[in-house]
Amino acid sequence: TQLLEQSPQFLSIQEGENLTVYCNSSSVFSSLQWYRQEPGEGPVLLVTVVTGGEVKKLKRLTFQFGDARKDSSLHITAAQPGDTGLYLCAGVRGEKLTFGTGTRLTIIP
Amino acid sequence: GAVVSQHPSRVICKSGTSVKIECRSLDFQATTMFWYRQFPKQSLMLMATSNEGSKATYEQGVEKDKFLINHASLTLSTLTVTSAHPEDSSFYICSATPRWGSYNEQFFGPGTRLTVL
């Protein structure tokens, strides 16, 4: 089983603070995706990183793919209550996705 | 574009009955559809991959006779949970890969909450 471990599992911070979520695996993936999922809904794709060492920015969110394509990080600057949700990384191999264990983020106003 | 719907959104059934969940790609044809299961406070686990007109490929540990998948067209896949039991209660999510997109691009449905009493 190819496991993607995310840390932390839970994170609760004040509005305006910065945070980083990590996604680690012992396996190499062709690319890695990050999703956000709201309660009772399906996950929504935020970004796909493909190249080792790649960094992508999406407004206040910065995503990085590790050089060896085994790990990734998501950094949020100046967190807002609207960022609250379950963040999932997913490793891509072929047509399949392997989801990470998830990070439940709560931003306190 | 690229909208995926699921029906029903919620279903409650008695133990021993069968439940069918539909997954539709509303504005595109899907090469492949995937079915995931998500238990409370947990991540998504892939159950099976289905292609139109062929048998589904099930992940290890998923009983194919219990979770019947029918991929009747390029826009519809159904998951039937047969003889459901309380331990089958979960959030079932489908996704679809468009024919025009990259092979690893999946669009997710809103999920179906199954509760077995």
Q: What is the pLDDT of residues A14-32, one digit of tens each?
A: 999 999 999 999 999 989 9
User: Which chain B residue shows the shortest CA-CA distance from A30?
Assistant: B104
A42/B97 CB distance under 8 A:
no
Task: Tell me which residue of B52, B43, B45 sits closest to B23, measured CA to CA.
Answer: B52
A95 or B113: which carries more pLDDT confidence? Answer: B113
Task: Give the C-alpha separation, A14 to A18, whole Å.
Answer: 9
For residue B1, the model assigns a pLDDT of: 66
* Distance (Å) from the alpha carbon of A60 to chain B's nearest alpha carbon: 24
Each residue of A28-67: pLDDT tens digit?
Answer: 998 999 999 998 999 999 999 999 999 999 999 999 999 9
Contact A101 B43 (CB under 8 A): yes
pLDDT bin (cut points 50, 70, 90) of residue A2 is: low
pLDDT of B53: 81
Q: What is the pLDDT of residues B62-110, one digit of tens each?
A: 999 999 999 889 999 999 999 999 999 999 999 999 877 665 688 999 9
In whole angstroms, give the CA distance from residue A31 to residue A11. 25
pLDDT at residue number B99: 78
8 A C-beta contact, residue B78 and residue B22: yes
Beta pairing partners, A36: A44, A87
- What does the block give as tokens for B71? 């991929």
Site from A96, A101, A103, A106 to mutate, B interface, most B CB atoms within 10 angstroms: A96
Looking at the predicted structure, is the pLDDT value of residue B52 above 90? no
- The confidence score (pLDDT) of residue A5 equals 95
Q: Is residue A1's pLDDT more than 60?
A: no
- Cβ separation of B97 and A95 shorter than 8 Å? yes
pLDDT at A97 over 80: yes
Q: Is the minimum CB–CB distance between B103 and chain A shorter than 8 Å?
A: yes
- The C-alpha atoms of residue B9 and residue A77 are separated, in whole angstroms, by 34
Write out chain B residues lying below 8 Å of A45, CB-based: 106-107
pLDDT of residue B103: 55
Residue B101 pLDDT? 62
**Residue B30 to residue A45: CA distance in whole angstroms:** 17
Tokens 């079932």, located at residue: B92
- Percentage of residues in chain A having pLDDT higher than 70: 98
Split at pLDDT 50, 70, 90, the class of B31 is confident
